[in-house]
Structure 1
């Protein structure tokens, strides 16, 4: 689907949606765990001193006001991480969010592309980096170096 540029009336970034966390009506908060957990999520992520925002169904609902979240909705988060964080810090962040009722799917945006926070927190030699050039396996998603190999090649495709 293509939308004509002139049809766009407003652009909202994931980070701007954090200001709308208190927006859903009380009955939506009671019914949807993902919406109800947003204040606690915000408190945890704000303490990390990193830029973050909401995407996925929760982000869409906050951006449009349309009730698209359902009882099984998770919380999709974009975490902008221009400088390296340790794997320990990633694990601690995941542990601090584990108490939330809905699952949190956190994607870090690094200089080389998107990386799942859970992948970085794991003790793997490489992580999948989703870049504008395709998916690649990197040992360090912050260091500009050739990728270890294309993730498609590594998977045998």
Structure 2
């Protein structure tokens, strides 16, 4: 079992086809026909396969499975969507309004970071399939391969929260570290240990950038 490093967690994969295992929920086929995309998830896979998650029309509709690498047509990374605009008629939705504010502020809170939208916002931008609604959060992925000072993390969190409060939305930012995904809010809080998620599962660690905190698999 391994993780194919050609694709990273939260990348959206454009798929040629999707196998139908016996335990597949009824909604998965409709979702795949609507948008033949799936997100790379943090899980091990047999050689030649990639762990993916299929998104349905409802919040509770999420299905984890695996796809053969040969069935991957293309991939969209979160950061490739960082400057992508919402389709006409969709840009007034709160999550897109918040994203546009971040896009226009080159010297703002995310300046200097490699970042991009994930979740429903990223999915809609990549697929052009309406997915975001009035109550959707804006989920962000921020890549931080090097240690992030607590004061920098706190300032970043405060700026994002201020923007969220102004628009009336929730902005949930996740740090992509060498140890896996860590919530910005947790790291900025200065906790002794934070929850990091990688292919092995969630675990509490003191330093997501420490060489002993991870095994090289996110």
On the 8 A contact 2:124/2:130 being kept in 1, the answer is yes
| Match in the other structure for 1:110 | 177
Deviation for aligned residue 1:19: 2.9
Unaligned runs of 5+ in 1: 148-157
1:64 correspondence with 2:127: yes
State how far apart, in whole Å, the 2-side matches of 1:45 and 1:59 are: 19
Residues 1-157 of structure 1: pairs in structure 2 closer than 5 A:
1-3=65-67, 5-20=69-84, 22-25=85-88, 27-30=89-92, 32-42=93-103, 43=105, 44-47=108-111, 49-98=112-161, 99-100=163-164, 101=167, 102-145=169-212
Alpha-carbon distance in structure 1 between the residues aligned to 2:192 and 2:154:
16
For the 8 Å contact 1:75–1:105, the answer to whether it is kept is yes
For 1:12 and 1:130, locate their aligned partners in 2 and report how far apart those are by CA, in whole Å. 21
Quote the Cα distance in structure 1 between the aligned partners of 2:68 and 2:205: 37
TM-score (norm 1): 0.82
Query: Any idea what the Cα deviations from partners look like across 1:133-155, whole Å, max 9, x if unmatched?
Result: 221111111002258xxxxxxxx
2: CA distance, partners of 1:11 / 1:105: 23
How large is the RMSD of aligned CA atoms in angstroms? Answer: 1.8
Q: TM-score, normalised by structure 2?
A: 0.60
Which one has a larger percent strand, Structure 1 or Structure 2? 2
What is the aligned length?
143
Which blocks of at least 5 consecutive residues in structure 2 are unaligned? 1-64
Residues 2, 94 of structure 1: alpha-carbon distance in 2 compared, 3 angstrom cutoff: same
